[in-house]
Amino acid sequence: MTDTRLMPELRFSPAPAAGDRPAAARVNSLTDLVGNTPLIRLRRIAAHLPETVEVYAKAEWYNPSGSVKDRPALNIIRTAEADGRLTPDKVVLDSTSGNMGIAYATLAGALGYQVRLVIPENASPERFSILRALGASFTLSSPLEGSDGAIREARRLAAAEPERFFYANQYNNPANWQAHFHSTGPEIIAQTDGAVTHFVAGLGTSGTFTGVGRALKAYHPGIQLIAFQPNAPFHGLEGLKHMPTAIKPGIYDQALADENLAVSTEAAHLMTRRLAREEGLFVGISAGAAAVAALQVAETLTSGVVVTLFPDAGYKYVSERFWNA
């Protein structure tokens, strides 16, 4: 468990009222567009709930590269620049299931860095096409080993050429969860006017759950934190880990969750289709899993504000056969 003496100070400011939202900004860098994503109420899939129970999702595909991973990717890069570990002559190296790699390729590329990635061979073909378009180089790892195989290969490359690579090491880098502590968590507090009662998020690197969870607990210890993960070692939920059988991330704080849920691939696929067809939200499979878990929590309540997070849109998954069901 992380030493709480290392916890940074929580910072947040109230969100603007709906009628006071500023016009789209003119920015000096793509990095200025990371964060401040909308919070969307889920109405049709939650229509069976009492009016006193509200369910919301953060629309993380509004980030520049199209996923929540822009937040940790940018913070990892900026932190490494500040402490001298990342210099212009070094290549950013990390393992990824896809989204983090695209975030690195987008943001590190915009900042002038080369990127080398290790990605499981069974990642969606759309992700490979995007990485090629962005000019990232990548190595394929065994599809049978999932994200763990990619981690092992990235570690091998980093150890073999330490002078060439900055190993970003997203699974063990505190800048990952700190990005969410300073951005995603405070945004949720502001966007709900402090009324959030439950937060639900999936476990991959665990950075989102850890960072947001610590921010919400610092704001109000009574806010309930619910983590979910795949219900089996072999699953189709890209980016998520079955923690009992996986390499546990160094940033994972097992004691943080008030409750843990398991979600099946089949339930996530069904919900992903429902979100598209009933809410008009074309999202990825992990977002479908998040909605499944959030509704499970909401269905136990008589009142409350349940917030989850939709990591990305559905464009990277259009080749998946489950859409045709």
Q: How far apart are CA 304 and CA 93, in angstroms?
A: 42
Beta-bridge partner residues of 93: 116, 167
- pLDDT of the residue at 46: 98
69 in active site: yes
- pLDDT of the residue at 43: 97
- pLDDT of the residue at 144: 85
Enumerate residues 6+ apart whose C-beta is below 8 A from 1: 253, 254, 255
Query: Spelled out in words, what is the top-level CATH class assigned to the domain 70-167?
Result: alpha beta
Q: How far apart are CA 65 and CA 104, in angstroms?
A: 9
Of 97, 124, 286, 316, which is the active-site residue?
286
Q: Is residue 168 a contact partner of residue 93, using CB atoms and an 8 Å limit?
A: yes
Q: Where in the chain is the domain with CATH 3.40.50.1100?
A: 4-62+179-324, 70-167
Q: Is 299 left (phi over 0), alpha (psi -120 to 50) or beta?
A: alpha
Q: How far apart are CA 33 and CA 19, in angstroms?
A: 21
Of 58, 69, 241, 316, which is the active-site residue?
69
In the sheet with 224-230, reading across from the earlier edge strand, the strands are: 39-41, 53-59, 304-310, 198-202, 224-230, 259-263
Classify domain 4-62+179-324 by CATH number.
Answer: 3.40.50.1100
Enumerate residues 6+ apart whose C-beta is below 8 A from 9: none
Q: How far apart are CA 146 and CA 98, in angstroms?
A: 12
Q: How far apart are CA 113 and CA 134, in angstroms?
A: 12
Q: pTM (2 decimals)?
A: 0.91
The secondary structure of 107-153 as a DSSP string is: HHHHTT--EEEEEETTS-HHHHHHHHHHT-EEEEE-GGGHHHHHHHH
286 in active site: yes
Q: Give per-10-residue mean pLDDT for the chain (325 aa).
A: 55 52 75 96 97 98 97 97 96 93 94 95 90 94 89 96 96 98 98 98 97 98 98 89 92 97 97 97 97 98 98 92 85
Q: How far apart are CA 184 and CA 199, in angstroms?
A: 12
- pLDDT of the residue at 45: 97
Q: Is residue 2 a contact partner of residue 270, using CB atoms and an 8 Å limit?
A: no
